[in-house]
Structure 1
Amino acid sequence: MLSKRHFDVGSGIADFWSEFKKPQPYRWPILVASSVPIVLILIWAIGEETFIPPEGPKVSYITSFAPGRSDTEIAASNLENQKRQDELRAERERIEEQKKEMYRELGRASGMDVDAMEAQIEADRQREEAARAARSSGEAAPDGPVNNGDTPVADPAE
């Protein structure tokens, strides 16, 4: 264990002073050279500018609706928006079905039995939905393998 005598500041200063008092030709240049980094750091720290945080922005709300709209205008705008959302959803479904058809054609061209694969995928999806519904209602899970995405499932009939 370290004792306090190793960290006595008074004896350290006395030792420094006894060495510094000895007449040596380079004591002043060494003192200046050793104090230059400290002086430079102090000059840099004192000259550092600090800024207070800027004042927060003034918030102005921009509304895209007239402030005095009636309930019928609001309902009409909501219906129009719902029609637009339905059109977008139908377009996404059409594009998705077009992609599936392209993959079906590619599978058939590659010699795969696409119809059997789709039937298997649909059966797996229905089993997973049934298992999910059974878990949420607390019933027993249906027979057959169910893949919840954590581990691969092998069919016991194979």
Structure 2
Amino acid sequence: MSFLKNANPAGALADFRQVYRDAGPGRWKYALLAALTTAGIFSSMVGESWKKQRKLPEITYITSWPADRTEAETKAFIAENQKRKEAQAELERRYNEEGQKLWMDVGRATGLDVNDMKRKADADKAKADAAAKARADAVLKQSNIATSDSGKSAKPGTGE
């Protein structure tokens, strides 16, 4: 509050008037020059944009497939890719199975009941899988899509 108490607009105006009178006969030239400079700076800023120009996106078309590829070639490619994915999944399954056998051997060597641990782990996995399936079924039911267990398909959005 002390700042506002010391600020006196009447005193500020009186000081400005005194300085203006003391400036002499050239005061109008300098006032006009200051006003024109300020107006020129602000008028040059009015036309400028403050946003960065957005770069247009580049479009890359799929170049790995020939444009004249036939339907049979497409189906053959899909079948080959599916076989490759299944082979990779089988390899990963065998790798995990071998690793599990090795860890079970280590557990047996240290005196752990690995069969009981495996039963508990399998039960936990089955429980988690069932919970995930239940959540997925709930989402499908909410969106009016029948699950594969019901044997019939539904038309989305119709409730049939």
TM-score (norm 2): 0.49
More helix by share: 2
